[in-house]
Structure 1
Amino acid sequence: MHALPESTQRVAAELQRLRHPHAPRMLDDAARTAQQAADGLGVALGQIAKSIIFRRKSDDAAVLVVTSGDRRVDEKKVDALVGKTGRADAEFVKAKTGFAIGGVSPVAHSTAPVTLIDRELFRFDVIWAAAGHPHGVFQLSPHDLQRLTGAPVADVVQEISA
């Protein structure tokens, strides 16, 4: 575990504490985007659990939306669930989560975010999430994600046009 970057070690320790069976692994190439992660793992784009951070306007809280890699977040749906949000810049994301953009894990944040899980992730048995570093990922199921985060499952994505 000591060969892992510090932020990934934090994720590994949290996964271990929560008795998650899959430790983080490092990819040879960066997985800053869902497409890069899917390509690096040889899985469908939708199997990537991408972490999108918003900034809630009322209290400056981080709002984490974990969504399927092949979907786009509908900010109006998020706002209806958690209150008005705005964009979060890289400095805000790092300060609130302890992770850089491109490596935001759904667990082991420096400050617990308000979290929502995209119901579209439940189309898959196996998904992959960032493990605190642009090269770090870990395997889980959508049910594991819900158990690890305690977050509700919601409709938070844009409708797909046929």
Structure 2
Amino acid sequence: MTPPERVAAALAALSLPAEVRTFPQSTATAEEAAAAVGCAPGQIIKTLFFLADGRPTMVLMAGDRQVDTAALAEILGVSRKRLKMGTPEEVRQHTGYEVGGVAPVGWPTKPDVVIDDSLRRFATAWAAAGAPNAVFAAGVEALAAAIGGQWAAIAKERA
């Protein structure tokens, strides 16, 4: 099963009605994905992988924001020094996806999930679907509920 097929299967298992769409061009960055689907960069969900004192942690962030790592560390109950962004190898090992295509569903094991409040600006947003040219649209609240996410204010505006 390809990573996008795994995402489609995970979406179906979570009862999230979403279609995986692939494009001839890259959708690996928020700007590229927004251009491909015709939306604002904020409507792109960045799925980021962190290790919080060794615990796999998924962060969903709007494409026009950056993670405030001090705020994230506080939410997770770890010191800032014990929070680190995963390396490409760690991302692949824990998520099963390559950087640029990390989906918020279909992970081999359940991580901690933190979702930034800024995504609540949108009823629907787009997320990576397992490949650097594949995305799916989902209702933001429905996706958050399906993956057991904790909402928190962990964003800073991009410079």
TM-score > 0.5 by shorter chain: yes
Map 1:8-157 onto structure 2 (within 5 A): 8-57=4-53, 60-82=54-76, 83=78, 84-157=82-155
Label 1:69 to 1:13 Cα distance change in 2 as closer, same or farther (>3 A): same
Higher strand proportion (structure 1 or 2): 2
C-alpha distance in 2 between matches for 1:91 and 1:117? 23
Unaligned runs of 5+ residues in structure 1 are none
Contact 2:16 2:143 in 1 (8 A): no
The TM-score, its normalising length taken from structure 2, stands at 0.92
User: Aligned residue pairs: how many?
Assistant: 155
The alpha-carbon deviation at position 50 of structure 1 amounts to 0.5
The alpha-carbon deviation at position 87 of structure 1 amounts to 2.3
Contact 2:66 2:158 in 1 (8 A): no
C-alpha distance in 2 between matches for 1:149 and 1:18? 8
The TM-score, its normalising length taken from structure 1, stands at 0.90
Q: Deviations over 1:76-116 (max 9, x none)?
A: 01100112311210000000110101011111101221110
The alpha-carbon deviation at position 61 of structure 1 amounts to 2.1
How high is the sequence identity, in percent, across the aligned residues?
Answer: 34
C-alpha distance in 2 between matches for 1:20 and 1:91? 29
C-alpha distance in 2 between matches for 1:89 and 1:38? 25
Cα-Cα RMSD: 1.5
